[in-house]
Structure 1
């Protein structure tokens, strides 16, 4: 990944010097001018440090509910699921096959993606002209941001999204900087891979293409500006590449009635108002308030600095993406990956003021005073400490209340073995002669995933659920007339009404006093079902 190879080599894709092959003329000294050397040592050192910290902490608490669902989905590999394309469950299966079935093994892929994302943000800064200090600042800023730390700790669809969107950002910057339209098929192929993970990348495309089209020449420039890259047949070729890569999942979606649209609509209906009200503050929190000045410097630079006017679509696209997410009521983190690219744009001017010699200065000391440099490093360390305490399993589990009100996902990593133990206690009350026709049913995919993963310890049978894709993996046979061991029905009263003669036989206690959705959940033992499973099953499906 150094300056002498990969996508950052100025001879890649036929580019030599200032003349892009096949991509339209670019003036000498323009955006295709030579890039600074890549700061291989410090950037990879920062990425390696993040990987080491994440790996050391990966198994300290336990699985997240979504991870347990991905593990179960990985046992039912398909070209799609009702709430996601196939890539993350496939990664879960591959990661556990290579690194082990515990939390650390599952998260190994997320940890590696985290380190790669840190290095890619430095690549983006280099594309924008950042020298050594600017690249290092970009890597450090990404490494201490809450979003990178959080998504590097757990395997989720957002973990791969952050990585692949950053890859796309670097590729688009290379496209805009060089004007070489032959990057479009590469961008299309990567977009297709992103579509195999999550459809959200379509929002990025919807935001980016108009932003490029609207970015005309700068003052005093008679050239076509960034919009020239939209001409010709390379862009349609890129769209075709994306379609071909994503085609298996798109076919699966069409055959199954586009269920992901139903899930997305439910998220907007259920949480849309909250998502809109928290959108702006969460952008700052996920990044880190400490990094906001660098982020704002990136916006100012993209707007005012003629040396990077070719990259202005990047800033426009982020703003359009924010508008789309607000309009749709999506979750605030949907717009986060381009935020890192805007941050990368601000690193060079900040570093120039603090460390580097100003451009054109033939000698003298670097910009900024020693106090300013120490202050910047201190702020980055503060951000690292605060964001690590919030997003990583640093605190004892019993002290999670101090941070889980900010980041509830931390509490959802505690108590799953204890939940299955409570179900095991309920199962012990089922008479042995009735166990052949008994069923264990969970109302939530996290609980069902925990029963699948830990159930063998207590001799539990296969777990069933009507939540998300667990529904598609089938109902129990009609011969399974009961008893039914029912887990966590409180938020789903319609679930309990499907069974008869229910009484509580156990209660979940994670043993650490952590308040999460499963703490104190009841385990009910029901005598049977209100109707055969084949008739009940459609009533038990739910997406939320």
Structure 2
């Protein structure tokens, strides 16, 4: 069946919107500081491998590239996140175009993506979700083109994007599964009867193979991590799923994505796109069943936003409705910036943490290193050569690796995530041991002798993040050689 050609792409205004986003993110990228995950990626980037305990290799690799080219600072690290965010904005506009949206609707789609909280939040800092979002948008764009044109060659683009995305995060299989189920239910099933599909799958498997081989040869640690996270957070994730779906993009965008769902479902000329609409509720069911986080389903909401921009433009005829739409976008931009970008003074950050706790996780790391250094200096100078600095989680270990050398601290060790492999302390390090713990626990202290708390870390401006009231504990020695202790100190979540 011949489809009508898509409208011309509004490349100049869409590019201008993307560049504006880049300017805003760049201007704010140096505020607050590194996120705990970014500190982890920096160390992982110094230990490049085909896999890690908790993730594939792409994000640490991009972190290494960005800091090498642009500097080992939060701003230098975040250049790649800014670029990914800008490309996401452009791809959302291209998706709107695929649905036959005119120039103004494409511009609205780019604007809606540019002010959406989740897009700005992932664009501000380096995370696996940053590049996962871009990958999902590209996969959706290529899948939509496949359905619109029936041209099986788009399976190659889908396979290429999926393979690369699997080297970043395995979640990319979720939208693919949802889209496949939707196509099987609604059609057009003829797109599945193609040798191009087999070629696309083979390409994806080839690109994903290095990390899958790494995981298989290391007993699939990522499954252990995922299982632990689901067990710990699954119930809370299910309870908060619906509210966060409304909040994490923006409540002001809800009418647009509802209009998009109805447009794809009801418009006769877009009957080929009905699987795209159905894929979103299918994905929600999958995420709820597995106890996944609410943001796992947000990328498909962006697709519905793109679809809803044309009916929104059609509705916004006349000065009053245009003003109302502009006011909604402005309020979205303001609220998204407050909740996802470092625009507030640190003294006010606690107000936004119930919605976005990631804001608080960017504050206090240099101060933590300074507090630990003060405690380290309590160790007699003649004992420091055999002493060990041990951090309870990867954020602490990453911060001490990044900021510790300027305070004279040694290389930190940790049993958390892949830090356990980088490596264990040598058995010649017989103590003392300085422990950095979120809270005092026998999980660690039972492996050491005569443990005494020597300091407590208080976050700047009393920001309520995970490191609030961290205990700095000095122990005289390990109870066994480190090689014997290390398996018990390893943590996967």
Q: If the TM-score is normalised by the length of the shorter chain, which range does it land in?
A: over 0.9
Q: How many equivalent residue pairs?
A: 493
**SS in structure 2 opposite 1:505?**
strand
More helix by share: 2
Q: How does 1:148-297 map to 2 (within 5 A)?
A: 148-216=119-187, 226-297=188-259
- CA drift of 1:489 comes to 4.9
Within the candidate set 44, 48, 63, 1:77 is matched to: 48
- CA drift of 1:287 comes to 1.3
CA-based RMSD: 1.0
Gaps of 5+ in 2: none
Distance in structure 1 (CA, Å) of the matches to 2:145 and 2:155: 10
Distance in structure 1 (CA, Å) of the matches to 2:127 and 2:442: 29
Within the candidate set 480, 498, 510, 2:429 is matched to: 480
Q: Which residue of 2 aligns with 1:13?
A: none
Distance in structure 2 (CA, Å) of the matches to 1:492 and 1:175: 54
- CA shift in 2, pair 1:118/1:491, >3 Å: farther
Q: How does 1:373-388 map to 2 (within 5 A)?
A: 373-388=322-337
Q: Answer with 1 or 2: which has the greater Rg.
A: 1
- CA drift of 1:401 comes to 1.4
- CA drift of 1:491 comes to 6.3
Asked if the contact 1:485/1:523 (under 8 Å) is kept, the reply is yes
Q: Which residue of 1 aligns with 2:453?
A: 504
Distance in structure 2 (CA, Å) of the matches to 1:491 and 1:206: 43
Asked if the contact 2:157/2:200 (under 8 Å) is kept, the reply is yes
Indicate yes or no: 2:21 matched with 1:50: yes
Q: Where does structure 1 differ by over 6 angstroms across 4 or more consecutive aligned residues? A: none
Asked if the contact 2:315/2:321 (under 8 Å) is kept, the reply is no
Q: How does 1:129-528 map to 2 (within 5 A)?
A: 129-216=100-187, 226-354=188-316, 368-490=317-439, 492-528=441-477
- CA drift of 1:307 comes to 1.3
**SS in structure 2 opposite 1:531?**
coil
Distance in structure 2 (CA, Å) of the matches to 1:322 and 1:99: 38
Asked if the contact 1:489/1:496 (under 8 Å) is kept, the reply is no
Q: Which residue of 1 aligns with 2:75?
A: 104
Distance in structure 2 (CA, Å) of the matches to 1:492 and 1:446: 18
Gaps of 5+ in 1: 1-25, 217-225, 355-367
Distance in structure 2 (CA, Å) of the matches to 1:386 and 1:202: 31
- CA drift of 1:317 comes to 1.4
TM-score w.r.t. length of structure 2: 0.98
- CA drift of 1:509 comes to 2.4
Map Cα deviations across residues 97-155 of structure 1 (whole Å, 9 max, x no partner): 01111111111110111111011100000011010111011011111111001001110
- CA shift in 2, pair 1:491/1:246, >3 Å: farther
Distance in structure 2 (CA, Å) of the matches to 1:40 and 1:287: 24
